[in-house]
Amino acid sequence: MTVNRIGASAHNTELRHDWSREEIRNVYRQPLPNLLYSAQTLHREFHDPTRVQFCQLLSVKTGGCPEDCAYCPQSAHYTTEVNRGGLLPVDEVMEFATRARNEGATRLCMGAAWRNVQEGEDFEAVLEMVRRVSKLGMEVCCSLGMLNETQAERLADAGLTAYNHNLDTSPEFYGQIITTRNYDDRLRTLAAVRKAGVTVCCGGIVGLGESENDRIGLLQQLSALRPHPESVPINALVRVAGTPLENVEGLDPLVFVRTIATARILMPASMVRLSAGRRALSREAVALCFLAGANSLFIGEKLLTTPNPEPEQDAAMLQALGLEPLPLR
C-alpha cells in the first residue's frame, strides 16, 4: 500500500467487475494454502488484519412474512417456533442500540420480515429508528425487503448508512429456494439503494444444498455490481426446524472458508462479514474464516431469531486469536 501526501491510501490492486465464472472457479479451487495466501495478501493491502468490526442485529418486526424463502424461519409459509410480532417501539430499539454500542458494536442492523417496504405508520417509525440510532454515532443498516427509489431516498435522508439485501445464491439456483420474487427484483432494489447514495450490503448463504457452481455464480454476480457492495455478508445456513431446508446436509466448513476467501479476492476493498451460522463452526474454523479475509462478525446472543454464540465464548475466542474490535471511523 502506498500513502499519498494527504494521508489517503492508494491501493495497487485495481477493483474488477468483469470476473468470469471460469476465472472465479480457478481462484476458488486453488490448493487451500495458495487461496488463503492470496486472500491474506489482498486483505492486508486494504484492511488491518488484526481488527474486526462488531455488528449487532435486531429484528424490529418478526415473523409472518409472505415470502417463501426456504431457509427462513420467519416465512408464513412454514410452521416454525418463531412467534409473530408487530413493529418494536422506537424506545425499545434505542435501549437495545445503546447497549450494543456499549458492548463494542459500531453497526446496528435492523431486520424486518417484510416482502417490501410500504408507506405508512410502520415505515415512519423505522425512519425515526434510523434517525435516532445514527445520532448515537453508530453505522445503521436496515434489511426490510424490496424498496423503491423514493423509499431509499427517505432512508438516506434519515441517516441510513447501508441497506442489506442479499442475492443469496446463483441466478439458476434461486428459483429452488424462493418462488415469490425473482433475481431481477433483488437487483432493482439494489439499484435504488445505490442511486439514493446509501451503501450496499449484499451477500448470500452457503449450505442451502447448492453446487460449487452456484457459489461461484453468486460470487460472480456480487463482483459484477458497480461499485462492489461495500459490505458482503457470507452466511452459513442455520437449519431451522419447520423450514424446507431443516434436513439439508451440513455444510463443510472448508467450503465456507473457500467462499469467504474468494469473496475477499474478488472484492478486496469490501467488508466481508462472517454472518449467520457461527454456532455450528469450531473456533478453529472461525479462525480460518478470519485468515480468509473476513473482517466483521455479529456479536450478541441472538441473530434475528436464532441463537448466536454466547458473548463470553466470543470474547474468549477473539482474545485467543488476538483480534481487536474496529473502532468507529
Of 67-126, binders to ligand SF4 (CB under 6 A) are 67, 69, 72, 74-75, 113, 115
Residue 114 binding ligand SAM, by CB under 6 A: yes
Catalytic site residue from 101, 142, 154, 201: 201
Residue 162 binding ligand SF4, by CB under 6 A: no
Residue 202 annotated as catalytic: no
Cβ proximity of 165 and 143 under 8 Å = yes
Which residue's CB is nearer to ligand SF4, number 69 or number 192? Answer: 69
Q: Least distance from C-beta 291 to ligand SAM, angstroms?
A: 22
246: exposed, middle or buried (Cβ count in 10 Å: 0-12, 13-18, 19+): middle
Listing DSSP states for 134-167 in one string gives: HHTT-EEEEE-SB--HHHHHHHHHHT--EEE---
Q: Least distance from C-beta 16 to ligand SAM, angstroms?
A: 25
Residue 210 binding ligand SF4, by CB under 6 A: no
Query: What is the Cα–Cα distance from 42 to 13, expressed in whole angstroms?
Result: 8
**109 binding partner (options ligand DTB, ligand SAM, ligand SF4, none; Cβ < 5 to 8 Å by kind):** ligand DTB
Residue 235 binding ligand SAM, by CB under 6 A: yes
Q: 75: which 3 cell numbers?
A: 416465512
Q: Which stretch binds ligand DTB (CB under 6 A): 24-32, 146-154, 260-268, 303-311?
A: 303-311
CA nearest neighbour of 160 among 189, 138, 188: 138
Catalytic site residue from 55, 107, 141, 215: 141
User: Of 43, 61, 101, 165, which one interacts with ligand SAM (CB under 6 A)?
Assistant: 165
Phi then psi for residue 126, to 5 deg, are -65, -40
Residue 55 annotated as catalytic: no
**162 binding partner (options ligand SF4, ligand SAM, ligand DTB, none; Cβ < 5 to 8 Å by kind):** none
**Residues 219-258, mask of contacts with ligand DTB (x by CB under 6 A):** --------------x-x--x--------------------
7 SS3 class? coil
Positions of E strands within the chain:
2-3, 9-10, 51-61, 107-112, 139-143, 162-164, 199-201, 204-206, 231-236, 271-274, 296-298, 324-325
Query: What is the Cα–Cα distance from 141 to 271, expressed in whole angstroms?
Result: 14
Residue 69 annotated as catalytic: yes
**168 binding partner (options ligand SAM, ligand SF4, ligand DTB, none; Cβ < 5 to 8 Å by kind):** ligand SAM
324 SS3 class? strand
153: exposed, middle or buried (Cβ count in 10 Å: 0-12, 13-18, 19+): middle
86: exposed, middle or buried (Cβ count in 10 Å: 0-12, 13-18, 19+): exposed
Cβ proximity of 70 and 122 under 8 Å = no
Q: 31: which 3 cell numbers?
A: 490448493
Residue 181 binding ligand SAM, by CB under 6 A: no
Which residue's CB is nearer to ligand DTB, number 30 or number 215? Answer: 215
Residue 141 annotated as catalytic: yes
Contacts with ligand DTB by CB under 6 A lie at 57, 73, 109, 111, 143, 164, 166, 203, 233, 235, 238, 275-276, 303-306
Catalytic residues: 65, 69, 72, 109, 141, 201, 273
Instruction: Give the binding site for ligand SF4 (CB under 6 A).
Output: 65, 67, 69, 72, 74-75, 113, 115, 145
